[in-house]
Amino acid sequence: MQLTAIGTVAVTLMLLGAFLFIRTTLADLGNGMLQQIEISVYVDSNATPHEIAALRASFRADPRIASVAFIPKSEGLKELRDRTRGVIDTSLLTENPLPDKFRVRVHDPALVPAVAADLRRLTGVGNVVYGQQVVQRLLRLGDVLRRVGMALIALFLVVAGIIISNTTRIAVYARRREIGIMQLVGATNIYIRMPFICEGLVVGLIGAAAAVVLLVAARETLWPRMLEALPFVQFNVTTVDVPRLVLQLFLVGGIIGATAAWFAVGRYLQT
């Protein structure tokens, strides 16, 4: 019975921990991408150096554009190599497939679609690519995940509370004789409650410990594989405050355990 309670707390807190971890990571990712948002203007492979110079001049003239950087195809390949090092073997390439490109930054991310559309009409421009849609979807996904996650966790917390309080009630019932005698000889309710609340607290803390162990294991095994599977996404894991997260889980575990036990014994003592 105690194992059931511990298991429920562990699963609940693991969900909570994973959720908080993913939320922080996603939020960082979204913010980072929004700030880094840029328009890649790929130069048509047939463009002459004169046309390229003209493009650069027209970018400079556009007041909406904050900065322009010209990335020749050789440098573009080097960047690609750096970013995919150890994942994709670029040494197999016999020639550079990349076109030259301009990296264009806009003052206001909201203007990106309009600027991109204008740039596409210029002569010598092959393709215009920007990642705003991806970013917006990511942020929206994060929002949905947050709501669904919160609802799910709230539900699990309630279930964990009910299971702990049921476990406590069974323990109280098993010791009702002893409790009756305690009350008879003048034990205070706090004194009677304390062992059960400690038990609930311990169940909550053990559940939290189990959740932390599972989360650490998941981070050690699953997380690197996820990074591997998404090499182009630059997750910034370091911003997750791990000690604080662990502390939060223990806090939530302890509170849910002690509170559920408190109410379970309280209901018995009132009658």
262 binds other proteins (CB under 8 A): no
Between β-strands 101-106 and 65-71, what pairing exists: parallel, antiparallel or unpaired? antiparallel
Q: Which of 49, 63, 86, 186 binds other proteins (CB under 8 A)?
A: 186
Helix 242-270 to helix 189-229 angle, to the nearest 10 degrees?
A: 150
263 near other proteins, rule: CB under 8 A: no
Which phi and psi (to 5°) does residue 106 adopt? -105, 150
Q: How many residues bind other proteins (CB under 8 A)?
A: 14
Q: Which two tokens stand for residue 271?
A: 């009658």
| DSSP character at residue 106 | E
Q: How far is the CB of 268 from other proteins (least distance, A)?
A: 14
Residue choice 52, 122, 182, 255 for contact with other proteins (CB under 8 A) = 182
**Nearer to other proteins by C-beta: 155 or 198?**
198
In the complex, least distance from residue 195 CB atom to other proteins, rounded to whole angstroms: 11
Binding test (CB under 8 A) with other proteins, winner from 53, 127, 191, 236: 191
Please identify which residue in 61, 92, 184, 229 interacts with other proteins, judged by CB under 8 A: 184
Q: Is 35 in the site for other proteins (CB under 8 A)?
A: no
Indicate whether 121 belongs to the interface with other proteins (CB under 8 A): no
CA-CA distance, 1 to 20, in Å (whole number)? 29
Residues 158-177, mask of contacts with other proteins (x by CB under 8 A): -------------------x
CA distances from 132 to 27, 31, 92, 105, 150 (A): 15, 12, 32, 12, 27
